[in-house]
Amino acid sequence: MKYLATLAILLSLSACGVLYEKPVDEKTITTKEQAIALVGQQPTNDQAEQTIKDYLSAQLKDPYTVQYRFVDSLQPGWKSIPWPNKSIKYGWVKCVWVNGKNSYGAYTGYTLYYFILRNGEVIYKENEYVQITQCKK
């Protein structure tokens, strides 16, 4: 009986759906205004680097000793997020190698991170354990 009730709830929830807009193909962007609508206003490299440093300093154990190696200039880009809510994140891509300290005070080694920035904030972050194709190594 318990399994039947659970099955009924799952079936009723699976009937709920969300409509997604078809992603805009890069070839359909014809004006600067349309591009800005997708990825936001382009920050300077210095602004992007400071935004990333601020974002990481809130997450790392010892943010004052972090070593950064920014890889390349900003590029417009996007990332399809399949789970949990199937979305596409558009913004400005910036890649950086980060070397931070662990709980014992030793550096952990450089790790490549891929950030998507939009309107002055980080909207997506991924590390090198997931295949990063937009970063030059």
Tokens standing for residue 21: 């807009």
> Considering only CA atoms, which of 78, 7, 72, 70 is closest in space to residue 40?
78
Give dist(CA 52, CA 115) in Å, integer: 8
Output phi, psi for 128, to 5 deg: -70, -15
Summarised one tens digit per residue, pLDDT across range 20-66 is 344 555 555 556 666 677 788 889 999 999 999 999 999 888 889 99
Q: For the full predicted model, state whether its pTM sits above 0.85.
A: no
Give dist(CA 46, CA 117) in Å, integer: 13
87-99 and 67-70 strand pairing:
antiparallel
Q: What is the pLDDT of residue 43?
A: 92
75-81 and 111-118 strand pairing:
unpaired
Higher pLDDT, 100 or 32: 100
> Considering only CA atoms, which of 80, 88, 86 is closest in space to residue 38?
88
